[in-house]
Structure 1
Amino acid sequence: MILLERNYKWLPPILSFVISLILFVFTYWAASKEFMIREMLGYPITYLYFIYFNGTVYLSIKLSKFFYNIKYFQIHTNTRLFVELMSLFAMSFIFFYVTLITSSVMSGRGDAIIFTKNNTIIGVFQGLVLLLYSSLTITQDFLNKWRQSSIEISELQKQKLRAENRALQAHLNPHFLFNSLNVLISEIDYDPKSAKRFALDLSTIYRYVLNSKDKELVSFKEEWEVMQGYIHLHQVRLGEGLIFESEIHKDSLDKKIPPLSLQLLLENCFKHNQATLRKPLHLSIISDTNKVIVKNNVQLKSQKPESYNIGLKYLNDSFHHIDSNATVKIEQNENEFIVEIPLLTIDK
């Protein structure tokens, strides 16, 4: 890759020289009655012209960088492009006449008439050609900067998602752990066997959280196995206040989802809704080959808990970042809250 980049650096100067050679040969052929390459190579103006053309291309790149660093033109890009192209044309036209005057002085024809109609037409033509070629160079520079900016934005988005993921994991720690430890203490005295399973499930969940923190995707099977333990912890805590059912299609298990997607939805359900013996919380998880649906009845707590808006937005951004066509669908009415997340087939 480094070798290719080094070779590529020589391409623009070589291309500029070839274009200047072709353009000068064409101009010399049009202006001279007896076209001879050997004579052309003997004229000082030939080499002055090469310096003029390639020097203007080089200065056009410097000019583009100069305007790019001006704060006003960073905001008003259309104005910057217009001023840049007009400055380039004026510079090219002036340099063309400087080349003619220098050539006349070097050849001993200092009194020759330079500002003629033909020279003006040729100067405008040369300026337009240089304008066109330099525009392509400026455009290429713009596209390179745009590509680099896109890469940087993409990387920032990844870092943002990782930060949000860690924030959600940190949110899991104090609330969920505090409640679980209280239940575990009670279970140790009441049912030691149940307490042992409870502790194992709790350990599995946190191990999964730690192991998945740097992953973009995990298999739905892996997430589902851990989330069954997560639901079991809540079943022990809530008893008959939680009624849970699931229907998992076997072909969905090998699909992919961002880690902790199900945990986020389940936590959202438990955090916002009451779950008592008189008003049980009905929770269901259903999957097919393309999606997973998490559904619960709506019975909001009288004292609403603090809302973490990054939750569902983070989930949607995570899916969309991996697959631009993947979206999280949310449906809510007076009785039910339904979230549908896609199952991905991307290997990452």
Structure 2
Amino acid sequence: MTSKKLTPYFPLASGWRLVLAAGFVLFVFGFIYLNYLFDEPPGFDLTVVLLLILMGWATWEVIHQFLRRTRTRGLWRILWAVGLGVLTFDALYFVLKWVDHWVLGSEPPLLFHMLFSTVMGGLVSAVVTGISLLYSWRKRLAMSVLENERLAREQSQAQLKALQRHLDPHFLFNSFNTLYGLLRTAPEQAETFLLSLGELYRYITQVQDQQVVPAATEWALVQHYVQLLRMRFGEGLVVDARMISADLEDCYVPPMALQQLVENAVKHNQLSVEDPLWVEIKVEQEYWVVTNPRKPKEAAMPSTMTGLSNLQQRYQFLTDAPVDIESEEHQFTVSIPLLTISEGPTEKHTAHADIIG
């Protein structure tokens, strides 16, 4: 069970404030006694100032403790606080005035004195109540801002995880379609495909709750995924990868981002051994660029681009850099940002072509 530590209103804890107040009272009355010893009391003005400080302090404490503990709200809360402050100030003034009368021989408290005390107490109480309420409001506002930030952060993380998990059923459905096709056309490859699919899914379960993964790790996954696709489509699919490992150093992407682009290219386009589908993957100006020709499948439903919308939303949680989608008449290109955790100079090398398969 987590306990909440209450922060005192003043820098000192309540017990220490009482000790300090008691010491201050003794100090003030020491001055009063010192005045009594002399025919012409030295520093009487200082004594008056100290007494006023003591009265103001006590009034502040009473109002502060009332505002902390009361459940009253609105105007009544303010009126009660000011009223208690006035009563505290008047009571202290009345007591100190009698002490002054007994010790120094001044006149006893009169109606004029009490009216003056009430007016002064009202002013002090109004100021103290205003300051206390302002402090309390600013404190609640700061806590509200922190709470809203925490809720927004938790909501963003929940939305991001939900978007990531949307990949799971979609990818599983397409994988079973591929396995079904192999069982019909190449049963001897079905077992190999199933084992490879298990390895691929093991990777998915490891990264599905991560916001980003190393780009090199994602590329290794895509190479594995392309091999699975080629077990079904054979020479009907060619992936032209124009990059080297140096292009991916210190770079990160959302998990399954590149795999999803390759999957979309295969899902929405015709491919055959006679007319293979060429998918080009390259690194260009801190972007991973995937390009494929537009060869829509016959009688296919128009694409809703739900997968790309999902990917764009995932990137919005991570960076201001946009996911660039270019849909031309004969070509479709998607560019996703390569993210960096720490900026620094990187050595770039000349890229070479790597034809998978």
Superposition TM-score, scaled by structure 1 size: 0.69
Q: Structure 1: which 5+ residue stretches go unaligned? A: 26-32, 68-83
What are the residue-to-residue correspondences of 1:160-179 with 2, within 5 Å?
160-179=159-178
Q: Go from structure 1 to structure 2 and tell me whether the alpha carbon gap of 1:175 and 1:303 turns closer, same or farther (over 3 Å shift).
A: same
Structure 1 residue 260 displacement after superposition: 0.8
1:205 — aligned with what?
200
Code of the aligned partner of 2:62 = G
Moved over 6 A (4+): 15-18, 86-89
Q: Secondary structure at the match of 2:279?
A: strand
Q: 2:288 aligns with which of 263, 285, 292?
A: 292
1:336 — aligned with what?
331
Q: 1:262 aligns with which of 253, 258, 263?
A: 258
**Any conservation in 2 of the 1:202–1:229 contact (CA below 8 Å)?**
no
Q: Secondary structure at the match of 1:154?
A: helix
**Any conservation in 1 of the 2:59–2:88 contact (CA below 8 Å)?**
yes
Distance 1:316 1:152 in 2: 22
**Any conservation in 2 of the 1:246–1:284 contact (CA below 8 Å)?**
yes
Distance 2:328 2:124 in 1: 70
Q: Secondary structure at the match of 2:186?
A: helix
What are the residue-to-residue correspondences of 1:129-140 with 2, within 5 Å?
130-132=129-131, 134-140=133-139
Structure 1 residue 90 displacement after superposition: 5.3
Q: Deviations over 1:199-220 (max 9, x none)?
A: 4432332221122223222211
Q: Go from structure 1 to structure 2 and tell me whether the alpha carbon gap of 1:38 and 1:172 turns closer, same or farther (over 3 Å shift).
A: same
Q: 1:52 aligns with which of 59, 62, 74?
A: 59
1:28 — aligned with what?
none
**Any conservation in 1 of the 2:90–2:118 contact (CA below 8 Å)?**
no
Code of the aligned partner of 1:233 = L
Q: Secondary structure at the match of 1:294?
A: strand
Q: 1:214 aligns with which of 197, 209, 214?
A: 209
Q: Does 1:251 align with 2:246?
A: yes
Distance 1:249 1:221 in 2: 10
Q: Deviations over 1:110-151 (max 9, x none)?
A: 7346555x9657744653454245423421232123212312
Identify the structure with bigger relative contact order (alpha carbons < 8 Å, sequence gap 6+). 2
2:225 — aligned with what?
230
Structure 1 residue 53 displacement after superposition: 1.3
Distance 1:179 1:147 in 2: 49
Q: Go from structure 1 to structure 2 and tell me whether the alpha carbon gap of 1:171 and 1:195 turns closer, same or farther (over 3 Å shift).
A: closer
Structure 1 residue 261 displacement after superposition: 1.0
Q: Go from structure 1 to structure 2 and tell me whether the alpha carbon gap of 1:290 and 1:91 turns closer, same or farther (over 3 Å shift).
A: farther
Code of the aligned partner of 2:295 = Q
2:102 — aligned with what?
none
Structure 1 residue 227 displacement after superposition: 0.9
Distance 2:273 2:142 in 1: 63
Q: 1:274 aligns with which of 256, 270, 273?
A: 270
Distance 1:102 1:244 in 2: 90
The structure where helix makes up a greater share of residues is: 1
2:31 — aligned with what?
none
1:303 — aligned with what?
300
**Any conservation in 1 of the 2:238–2:277 contact (CA below 8 Å)?**
yes
Code of the aligned partner of 2:335 = E
Q: Go from structure 1 to structure 2 and tell me whether the alpha carbon gap of 1:100 and 1:207 turns closer, same or farther (over 3 Å shift).
A: closer
164-173 or 8-17, which moves further after superposition? 8-17
Distance 1:199 1:147 in 2: 49
Q: Go from structure 1 to structure 2 and tell me whether the alpha carbon gap of 1:305 and 1:210 turns closer, same or farther (over 3 Å shift).
A: farther
Q: Go from structure 1 to structure 2 and tell me whether the alpha carbon gap of 1:66 and 1:288 turns closer, same or farther (over 3 Å shift).
A: farther
1:183 — aligned with what?
182
Q: Does 1:325 align with 2:320?
A: yes
**Any conservation in 2 of the 1:298–1:337 contact (CA below 8 Å)?**
yes
Structure 1 residue 247 displacement after superposition: 0.8
RMSD: 4.1
Q: Go from structure 1 to structure 2 and tell me whether the alpha carbon gap of 1:61 and 1:156 turns closer, same or farther (over 3 Å shift).
A: farther
**Any conservation in 1 of the 2:181–2:232 contact (CA below 8 Å)?**
no
Code of the aligned partner of 2:330 = N
Q: How many residues align?
A: 306
Structure 1 residue 292 displacement after superposition: 0.6
Identity of matched residues, %: 23
What are the residue-to-residue correspondences of 1:89-100 with 2, within 5 Å?
93-100=82-89
**Any conservation in 2 of the 1:184–1:199 contact (CA below 8 Å)?**
no
Distance 1:294 1:66 in 2: 64
Q: Go from structure 1 to structure 2 and tell me whether the alpha carbon gap of 1:102 and 1:119 turns closer, same or farther (over 3 Å shift).
A: closer
